[in-house]
Amino acid sequence: MAQIDWDSLGFDAYRTRTVVLAHYRDGAWSDIRTTETFSFTIDPFTQGLHYAISCFEGLKAFRQKDGGIIIFRPEKNAARMARSARFLGLPEPSEEMFIRMCELCVKNNMEFLPPYGHQASLYLRPLLFAPHPQMQLVPYPEVILAVMCAPAGSYYGAHLRSAAAVIPGDFDRAAPKGTGSYKLSANYAGTFVPYQIAHAQGYAELLYLNSATREYVDEFGSSNFFGIKGDTYVTPLSDSVLPSITNLTLQECAADFGMKVEKRPVPLEELSEFEEAGGCGTAVVITPMSHIDMKPVLAAPEVSRSFRYEEDGAVGPVCTKLYKRITGIQFGEIEDTHGWCHKIQA
């Protein structure tokens, strides 16, 4: 195995040692098995490909300061995957099975778990998809759950460095009462081209508004939105936002700091009232925003409004404090008083 440079890891698909698999068919789950073959044989008619009958999760395993290994809040990801599966009409993996497969994935890929001290972790990606070949638009009770992993460092190429975002006037993410609050593969398909355009213009992130009226903030393409106003942590309440486990954790951290937490609709206008704003999620951790521009048409040069928070790259005090708290708990540097760290026996 090539030596991994733990300090320069990004967020990439990675060929590790094994993938952990379980197959539900004929009313029962198969035994859990691991494979070193990084390819699937699937029918060309598979629903997962044609109709995006597929959902996934993202969670991280950490090597802590005392040498122990933990997975961060895996029961929350298990519950969210079960909810996504129900939405798609698919059989749901139990919490016990989901966590066992995640643990096995870490144990079988131990040489890819970054050592303590590099701000890096092992990102776990459980994928649940419908392999059944079918043209009819009805659920079929067969799924494959595959848990894969990749050593991961910083999502945008630097830890805790502010980045720019853009609100695209001509793209929406999720319809009201649609798929937005589920972690479905389909939700990401519509972000690829807007991301490509935004990146070419120097924006790291896309901030989507609620698609019904475009008057409220929903979330970033990769993460939830939060804003800091005085001693209040504000985050959108919306039917079309993914319920982020990182956001939930940060709300609890903010409350521990004695801050107020408001989860409510966030009007677009309010973006000018925050002292700090950022994205939060498993992959991005906390990404503070330097500024958020709004463009009527993403590909066009005109910016109609701009909300500024930090000099490019700079990070505000509350984002810094929250980042240190969550990563400190994950790496075992700060006591885990909430019981968020799920220990694994190596």
- Report the 3 state secondary structure along 81-135: HHHHHHHHCCCCCCHHHHHHHHHHHHHHCHHHCCCCCCCCEEEEEEEEECCCECC
Closest among 109, 108, 179, 104 to 145, alpha carbons compared: 104
Give, in degrees to the nearest 5, the angle at Cα 86 between 84 and 89.
115
Q: Does 165 bind ligand PLP (CB under 6 A)?
A: no
Closest among 287, 286, 284, 228 to 261, alpha carbons compared: 228
CB 120 within 8 A of CB 114: yes
Q: Does 247 bind ligand COI (CB under 6 A)?
A: no
Q: Binding ligand COI by CB under 6 A: which of 91, 281, 288, 332? A: 281
Q: Does 315 bind ligand COI (CB under 6 A)?
A: no
Given ligand PLP, ligand COI, none, residue 143, with its beta carbon under 5 to 8 Å by kind, binds: none
Q: Binding ligand PLP by CB under 6 A: which of 153, 236, 281, 288? A: 281
Given ligand COI, ligand PLP, none, residue 224, with its beta carbon under 5 to 8 Å by kind, binds: ligand PLP
The letter for the amino acid at 271 is: L
Q: Does 283 bind ligand COI (CB under 6 A)?
A: yes
Nearer to ligand COI among residue 19 and residue 259 (C-beta): 19
Nearer to ligand COI among residue 59 and residue 268 (C-beta): 59
Q: What's the count of helices (H) and strands (E) in the chain, helices before strands?
A: 7, 18
Question: Which window, 82-90, 252-260, 275-283, 302-310, contacts ligand COI (CB under 6 A)?
Answer: 275-283
Per-residue string for binding with ligand COI, 48-67, x by CB under 6 A?
Answer: ----------x---------
Give φ, ψ of 102 to 5 degrees.
-65, -45
Q: Binding ligand PLP by CB under 6 A: which of 242, 285, 322, 344? A: 242
Q: Does 278 bind ligand PLP (CB under 6 A)?
A: no
Size of the site for ligand PLP (CB under 6 A): 12
CA distances from 89 to 57, 140, 143, 173, 240 (A): 17, 8, 11, 22, 19
The letter for the amino acid at 323 is: Y
E-strand ranges in 153-223 read 163-168, 205-209, 217-220
Q: Does 179 bind ligand PLP (CB under 6 A)?
A: no
Given ligand PLP, ligand COI, none, residue 240, with its beta carbon under 5 to 8 Å by kind, binds: none
Structure tokens at 305: 């409004």
Question: Which window, 105-113, 160-168, 244-252, 303-311, contacts ligand PLP (CB under 6 A)?
Answer: 244-252
Q: Binding ligand COI by CB under 6 A: which of 109, 121, 282, 287? A: 282
Touching ligand COI, residues 168-227 (CB under 6 A): 188, 222
Closest among 168, 164, 148 to 156, alpha carbons compared: 164
Q: Binding ligand PLP by CB under 6 A: which of 19, 22, 58, 288? A: 58
Q: Which residues bind ligand COI (CB under 6 A)?
A: 58, 188, 222, 281-283
Q: Which residues bind ligand PLP (CB under 6 A)?
A: 58, 219, 222-224, 242, 244-247, 281-282
